[in-house]
């Protein structure tokens, strides 16, 4: 396995996680009233800011996944590498969220939402990168 194929591998795992998350959101949204739930779900997903979030998520996963593959080939510890790159992606995504809050004049909401936003983004991203590093290490053996 080439070291640069880590980007594709991390993107594939990120795609699986996003699909599971989107199906969960769809089930939650359509639980009460299916027709209105579908409309609300589509309205939320067709937002330009959501598309920007997912673009940042997949682009950073691809490019940092390539770097992670190189680091794993060099023999670095998979947990250490996954935590470093997972935190880096998390910082990118949290910064994007903060920029969106700031540009819309939501300063009061931003200060109350920062801890929750950080927790919601950092923990799943770290888990995703730990799974990706572990499975990439398995593929390399």
Domain-wise residue ranges, the chain: 3-140
Predicted local distance difference test score (pLDDT) of residue 115: 85
For the CA atoms of the chain, what is the radius of gyration? 17
Alpha-carbon distance of 62 to 112, in angstroms, equals: 31
User: Between residues 7 and 140, which one has the greater pLDDT?
Assistant: 7
Alpha-carbon distance of 103 to 83, in angstroms, equals: 30
- Give tens-digit pLDDT for 85-135: 999 999 999 999 888 888 887 777 777 778 888 899 999 999 999 999 999
Q: In the structure, what pLDDT confidence band is assigned to residue 67 with cuts at 50, 70 and 90?
A: very high
User: Which two tokens mark 36?
Assistant: 């209105």
Alpha-carbon distance of 77 to 57, in angstroms, equals: 23
The structure's pTM equals 0.88
Closest among 15, 119, 116, 30 to 65, alpha carbons compared: 15
């Amino acid at each position: 396995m080439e070291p640069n194929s880590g980007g594709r591998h991390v993107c594939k795992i990120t795609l699986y996680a996003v699909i599971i998350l989107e199906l969960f959101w769809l089930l939650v949204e359509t639980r009460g009233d299916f027709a209105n739930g579908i409309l609300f779900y589509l309205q939320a997903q067709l937002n330009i800011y959501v598309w920007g979030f997912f673009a940042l998520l997949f682009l950073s996963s691809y490019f940092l996944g390539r770097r992670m593959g190189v680091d794993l080939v060099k023999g670095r510890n998979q947990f250490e590498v996954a935590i470093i790159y997972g935190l880096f992606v998390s910082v990118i995504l949290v910064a994007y969220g903060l920029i969106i809050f700031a540009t819309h004049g939501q300063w009061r909401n931003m200060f109350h939402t920062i801890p929750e936003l950080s927790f919601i983004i950092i923990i799943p991203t770290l888990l995703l990168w730990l799974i990706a590093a572990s499975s990439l290490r398995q593929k390399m053996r």
